[in-house]
Structure 1
Amino acid sequence: MKNLPLNQYISHASQLVYGCMAIGGEWDFNPLTKDQTQHAFAAVDAALEAGITVFDHADIYRMGKAEQAFGEVLKSRPNLREEIVLQSKCGIRFEDEHGPKRYDFSKDWIVTSVENTLSRLNTEYLDLLLLHRPDPLMEEEEVAAAFDALFDSGKVKHFGVSNMSGVQMQHLNHYINQPLIANQVEMSLTNLGFVDEGIYVGNPDGQHVNFTAGTLQYAKQNNIQMQSWGPASQGKYTGAPAALTAQEEATKKLVATLAQKYGVATDAIVLAWLMRHPSNIQPIVGSANPKRIKASAEAVTVTLTREDWYALYVSAKGVELP
């Protein structure tokens, strides 16, 4: 496999990321239980055994309990911290006594969120902080000031974004002193906009493509790691119970056929399809099931042929190429 853009900044970053949203119990404010902590240990161990070193968090996951559960892992294994890459996200605020669900890129909120994240994770620094979703009220100078404060204090080593377009990244990069090094967006066999936008240029069939043109190109030109959340399409093509259309059933069968051809699990095929793209996409494995984590990690051993890559794209799209 090709080197990741992220490796230019963090040499021990793995080709896959483990997404920690599934650990920490329910989305509530109940205390973290012993069983939930053990569940987190099992998921983290499975990821490490599979060669995954990058762990993705967000301050909102499980109302903070995902970070807290991971923090219990670090508390019991302090030497692990230097062997892994920790990234987290901030900027989403749920409805509270002050207002509705909203986004907040103010300096105070960014800094406070990071400090709370560090406390929950039982660590002194993040390798990477991502801004979770674009805030239309963002004041760029405040973001720059927040990044400077966190960088200068050693609390954050690198910065990135999530769900932003190429233009938005370019704009923010103009104001900040630390370059953006990652962007996390939804890409998968059920979210094909990142491919469609190039194929359907000038074609009326592409008028409803919901992916901003130039995002992947800007990222590649500026050594920004593209990470894919939801890369497995919630298991739609790999065995998760779901009512499928005839088209989806056909794609599921093709995934199974290719898994047999390449000698890997079906979970690996859907991730390998993303990783075959020249943007060097870094999929985020979101399952907390150790078997699924191990199966997903087989993706790093697969390089799909051009023909197999297009076969999956056309099957998932449901129409032939224009």
Structure 2
Amino acid sequence: MKFVELGKTGMQVSAITVGCMRINSIEVNEAAKLIELAVENQVNYFDHADIYDAGECESTFQKALALTDIKREDLILQSKCGIVPGVMHDFSKKHILKSVEGSLKRLNTEYLDVLLLHRPDALVEPEEVAEAFDELYESGKVKYFGVSNQNPMQIELLKKFVRQPLVANQLQVSLAHSGMISNGVEMNMLTDRAICRDGSILDYSRLHDMTIQAWSPFQYGSIEGPFLGSDKFPVLNQKIDEMAQKYDVTNTTIAVAWLLRHPANMQVISGTMTQKRFTDICKATEIQMSREDWYELYVAAGNILP
């Protein structure tokens, strides 16, 4: 397993993260086996959110963990808050504190290792966020903080008031959703992919020591579907299959290895609940993809090299 430093915390975290959004789709005993498989593969990071199945995914994880011999202190538990589904986004102090209390109860733990703000709140008052973070940090209920789906200026606004470092940003990134990469490569060109829609979040993250956590690593568009095996991406899938044969792995492994090859030292969030596919995802950390192969895949995904 490849490990990366989470921000500048000094904490070494697995490059593969278990995303628990779909953990309720399997039985509790199967969830326990998946957790054990993750730990066997040296994966120590588990990602949650208070809204995943209205919090029930956190409860299921706790029940599954209780069926194993794995100790809480050997895991890094992350959760997210700030979304009231179908109603609003809420970064108020009251909502943040209430959300964390709920997650702690459902996960049966005294602390979260990491808390992320899930989606930007247009009505955010950063002073309130700072107060909530201070209270959570000083009480020992949250060790580290970060954001999700935020651009550089949104982060800078928070940093003006928040005392704790923001160590991670969870962002949608994949071979078929790589705008944060292509807008830099095609800089100064009159092409659609040259348009910077995220404020150069990739470079910002590297400059400010924020770990990018790549979610939906197999999706294209705004979660329109998987690109692996899709007839919408014939050239990309042909190239991925060639690379899979070259490295003697599956197409799943190649798609993840492409992300891990980037020098930003990303974490990749695996949402699969299938043990075989999870094992394939973990194998990506063993591949040393060449620069040439990385660019071949990049171009096959529809990007250009000026």
Distance in 1 between residues matched to 2:196 and 2:38, nearest whole Å? 32
Distance in 1 between residues matched to 2:33 and 2:265, nearest whole Å? 28
Aligned residue among 87, 99, 105 for 2:78: 87
What letter corresponds to residue 206 of structure 1 in structure 2? D
Question: RMSD value over aligned CA atoms?
Answer: 1.9
Q: Give the match's secondary structure for 2:167.
A: strand
Residue 311 of structure 1: how far off its partner (Å) = 0.7
Distance in 1 between residues matched to 2:36 and 2:9, nearest whole Å? 25
Residue 111 of structure 1: how far off its partner (Å) = 0.4
Alpha-carbon contact 1:196-1:206 (below 8 Å) kept: no
Residue 227 of structure 1: how far off its partner (Å) = 0.6
- Give runs of aligned pairs for residues 224-263 of structure 1, distance below 5 A: 224-233=210-219, 235-237=226-228, 239=229, 242=230, 244-245=231-232, 248-263=233-248
Identity %: 41
Residue 3 of structure 1: how far off its partner (Å) = 5.7
Q: Give the match's secondary structure for 1:280.
A: coil
Q: Give the match's secondary structure for 1:161.
A: strand
Instruction: Give the alignment's TM-score, normalised by structure 1.
Output: 0.88
Aligned residue among 269, 293, 306 for 1:308: 293
In terms of mean alpha carbon deviation, does 275-284 or 1-10 score higher?
1-10
Distance in 2 between residues matched to 1:16 and 1:3, nearest whole Å? 9
Distance in 2 between residues matched to 1:23 and 1:232, nearest whole Å? 18
Residue 74 of structure 1: how far off its partner (Å) = 3.5
With over 3 angstroms needed to count, the CA separation of the structure-2 counterparts of 1:54 and 1:2, relative to structure 1, is closer
Unaligned segments of structure 2, at least 5 residues: 220-224
Q: Give the match's secondary structure for 1:298.
A: helix
Tell me the equivalent position of 2:5.
5
Unaligned segments of structure 1, at least 5 residues: 26-34, 96-100
Tell me the equivalent position of 2:222.
none
Tell me the equivalent position of 2:59.
68
Residue 8 of structure 1: how far off its partner (Å) = 4.1
Alpha-carbon contact 1:197-1:212 (below 8 Å) kept: no
Alpha-carbon contact 2:32-2:65 (below 8 Å) kept: no
What letter corresponds to residue 73 of structure 1 in structure 2? A
Q: Does 1:213 align with 2:199?
A: yes
Distance in 1 between residues matched to 2:259 and 2:193, nearest whole Å? 23
In terms of mean alpha carbon deviation, does 167-176 or 134-143 score higher?
167-176
Count of residues in correspondence between the two structures = 301
Higher strand share: 2
Alpha-carbon contact 1:110-1:146 (below 8 Å) kept: yes
With over 3 angstroms needed to count, the CA separation of the structure-2 counterparts of 1:320 and 1:219, relative to structure 1, is closer
Instruction: Give the alignment's TM-score, normalised by structure 2.
Output: 0.92
With over 3 angstroms needed to count, the CA separation of the structure-2 counterparts of 1:125 and 1:10, relative to structure 1, is farther
Distance in 2 between residues matched to 1:16 and 1:172, nearest whole Å? 27
Tell me the equivalent position of 1:146.
132
With over 3 angstroms needed to count, the CA separation of the structure-2 counterparts of 1:129 and 1:184, relative to structure 1, is same
